[in-house]
């Protein structure tokens, strides 16, 4: 690939990242952070507090709390992104929301796995909520790109006339 084509692809990627849609995605992401951090705190400090007192393994409880927090934040973000961030991409609105949520979850799967990994790596060194916040920040750009391209991507639907080969 020529240097010019590489620059054009990089410019296209940067335009995609620094767009109004990315700002909307970020706003939805902030609501997801509130849900994620709030649920994580409640799970760690109140739901699993009793188990923590009797000597259960801390990382097991942290991962159980993270699972609930990430699921609820993912559900929150999916609905807000579908209704607001990518509402103009109507070609995706005909699919049942549960199918699209499955696609959204798969697209977020890499980010979710990385969030688990970074939170667990950082938690021994910093407060677990700060570790989780850093992990969310690191994975958010990847999450946006995957969902912008795949889950809510622009699909070019070909009509029957476009499929026919000229004689």
- Phi, psi (degrees; rounded to nearest 5) at 61: -65, -40
Please tell me the predicted confidence (pLDDT) of residue 91: 65
Give the confidence band of 1 by pLDDT, cuts at 50, 70, 90: confident
Helix, strand, coil shares of the chain, percent, nearest 5, are 80, 0, 20
Number of domains in the chain: 1
Rounded mean pLDDT, 133-146: 86
Q: Is 115 helix (H, G, I), strand (E, B) or coil?
A: helix
- Band of residue 68 on the pLDDT scale cut at 50, 70, 90: very high
Mean pLDDT, the chain, integer: 80
Contacts 24+ apart (CB under 8 A), 85-92: 85/21, 85/24, 85/25, 85/28, 85/152, 86/21, 86/147, 86/148, 86/151, 86/152, 89/152, 89/153, 89/154, 91/154, 91/155, 91/157, 92/151, 92/152, 92/155
Whether the full predicted model's pTM is greater than 0.85, yes or no, is no
Q: Which domain holds residue 112?
A: 3-163
> pLDDT tens digits for 76-96?
999 999 999 988 876 666 777
| Of 43, 41, 61, 150, residue with least CA distance to 105 | 150
> Is the pLDDT score of 144 beyond 80?
yes
Cα separation, 58 vs 76, in Å, equals 27
């Amino acid at each position: 690939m020529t240097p010019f084509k590489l620059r054009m692809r990089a410019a296209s990627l940067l335009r995609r990242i620094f767009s109004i849609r990315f700002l909307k995605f970020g706003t939805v992401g902030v609501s997801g952070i509130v849900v994620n951090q709030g649920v994580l705190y409640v799970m760690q400090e109140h739901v699993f507090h009793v188990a923590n007192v009797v000597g259960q393994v801390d990382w097991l409880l942290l991962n159980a709390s993270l699972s609930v927090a990430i699921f609820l934040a993912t559900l929150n973000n999916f609905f807000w992104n579908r209704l607001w961030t990518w509402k103009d991409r109507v070609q995706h609105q005909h699919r049942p929301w549960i199918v699209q949520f499955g696609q959204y979850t798969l697209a977020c799967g890499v980010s979710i796995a990385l969030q688990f990994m970074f939170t667990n790596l950082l938690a021994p060194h910093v407060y677990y909520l700060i570790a989780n916040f850093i992990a969310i920040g690191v994975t958010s750009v990847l999450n946006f790109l995957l969902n912008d391209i795949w889950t809510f991507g622009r699909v070019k639907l070909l009509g029957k006339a476009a499929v026919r080969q000229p004689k």
